[in-house]
Chains A and B, each alone.
Chain A
């Protein structure tokens, strides 16, 4: 064959390149391990921290949606605008039972629950405990998806007329009466006697707060007990999530009109709450991921340094490869592959460690929300490979561009 003819050269097989680059990695086990470890720790940090971030986000969303998504809450006072309500001009209208009744007449509204909340000492069975007292109407269990375990909830009656009956949350019941039957017994709330007519089903916690450590009484009794002349909250349910915005707008219009054209109340929709908390959590996850990303960057610098030194040390080997016929591109390919093998190997080990640590954390700290989206694992591996390409490119180009004669001379 004459050099003028096109030479026949098949591509360097991937498996052959893999075994050649792999042998270079194995030739310096400690050095390879340490530089791979840099990437491994970076990937582990990214996966683990974003898992905790994502777990927290999911936890918060779950907490908010446990009462359902078709619910709107109205509270007195305007929190979204600045200034203090009622200070500058005009009188601030109070959120009243009449407001709640007006809302109930709006189309698409299913249930309306006016609420009065206070904190008081509850005594019974010679024990006492300070808990939240919820004054409300008979629709509360349905609206908040609470179940009644024993007896009944506050009966349906005129919201303006109180009766001295109470329903205990299961935690409060256990604290006061333990396993004994409490139905028909009496408790004193701030000294006023109430007859126990029901016990709620356990509901658990919301954001660390025990919902079951509470007592429910008729709305008017609570307002009287706490000497309140306005509601703390009105909760409204409706049929479909799609109606949220339209209904919130109708309520806003209705109440503004009723309150002398002042928007002196705040409407919170569940979707808005989830969106806001989702945004906050996304920022948290991103920041945590970025911090972890820094350690990945440090790992990449380690790979770059290692590969650069390695090319310097193996100059004569590179010269030999060129002498036996390797092209510049083949040398580039081999060194790039070496860097990618190191980072992908390190990254895979890091991701596995993160999964293991995540499982360990879940087992050790049951409350800690850790959720590893499988997409993080693939993203982490993709990122490790990319890191290998980026950090290995300059050393590999250096190797490929070494003049063969000078490379062979260095020994």
Chain B
């Protein structure tokens, strides 16, 4: 479904060239759950942004459903984000002045879906994750876990095929984190491809495959029984970086 071939992302700073991603070759199949791990500055968020059509690679080819994505117009990328992709962020990114319900209807607003249908869909998604009593609450009146669940509702309300989560449990206590993780896994079981950037071994362990990045390259693929030995790897990262990537 997602094929990355020889992807480079290079920033030019004066005379110096900074390679955020080097020679990434990877294929992600429909319905997979992939975790991207690695120390800060290893390029995992950059990779997620390129897969999420928020950023463009400097070089290489990215195909989504056998269709080349690189060098598309901003309008076309916006269309792909609207219909195919859903984003979940560590900082939730809810619009503070809008209610939970209004935040969830936001993508549908840009798709020009009529109001009645918007409300019906948003209510049903929020109700399905137990947020019915919080429809009319603004983000400031919600707990961290509730905010992230609203964000998941917003990310899934357009029925995307891929969910991209950047540190989804990074700002949550362990109970809320577990709840959010369970929601994401449930979406994955329903067939949505899930790609998660994480620092949390418990999150990574639930993935089908873990890609380890270092200095912009994928240095290891971990899957199957090897996932159990992940914790050692993270201990190595912690000595190198702070949790906020």
Residues of A within 8 A of B (CB): 1-4, 7, 9-13, 16, 20, 23-24, 26-27, 316-317, 319-330, 403-405, 408, 411
Contacts and interface: CB of A to CB of B under 8 A. Distances in A.
A408 B84 contact: no
19 contacts: A2-B66, A3-B69, A3-B79, A3-B80, A4-B65, A9-B79, A12-B112, A20-B109, A23-B97, A23-B102, A323-B52, A324-B81, A325-B158, A326-B82, A327-B74, A328-B78, A330-B110, A403-B55, A408-B93
B104 to A, nearest CB: 10
Contact of A326 (B55, B84, B110): B110
A118 to B, nearest CB: 79
B110 A316 contact: no
B3 interface: no
B115 A16 contact: yes
Interface residues of B, number: 38
Contacts of A27: 96-97
The interface centre, meaning the residue of B76, B106, B110, B112 with most chain A CB atoms within 10 A of its CB, is B110
Interface of B: 49, 52, 54-55, 64-67, 69, 74-76, 78-84, 87, 89, 91, 93, 95-98, 102, 106-107, 109-113, 115, 154, 158
Contacts of B96: 27
B84 A1 contact: yes
B69 A325 contact: no
Contacts of A327: 74-75, 78-79, 110
B87 A3 contact: no
Given A3-B67, A325-B110, A325-B111, A320 B93 contact: yes
B220 to A, nearest CB: 26
B79 A16 contact: no
B111 A328 contact: no
Contacts, number: 102
B69 A408 contact: no
A326 B78 contact: yes
A3 B65 contact: yes
A7 B158 CA distance: 13
B65 to A, nearest CB: 5
A73 to B, nearest CB: 70
A323 B94 CA distance: 12
Contact of B78 (A1, A319, A325): A325
Contact of B55 (A4, A330, A405): A405
A405 B109 CA distance: 21
B95 A320 contact: yes
Nearest to A404: B54
A408 to B, nearest CB: 7
A112 B203 CA distance: 108
A411 B75 contact: no
Contacts of A11: 112
Given A2-B67, A321-B106, A325-B107, A7 B54 contact: no
Given A316-B93, A330-B110, A325 B82 contact: yes
A31 to B, nearest CB: 13
Given A27-B97, A324-B106, A324-B107, 17 more contacts: A2-B64, A3-B76, A7-B82, A9-B82, A9-B112, A10-B111, A12-B110, A27-B96, A317-B93, A319-B93, A323-B93, A324-B154, A327-B74, A327-B110, A405-B49, A405-B54, A411-B91
Contacts of B52: 323
The interface centre, meaning the residue of A26, A316, A405 with most chain B CB atoms within 10 A of its CB, is A405
Contacts of A23: 97-98, 102
Contacts of B75: 327-329
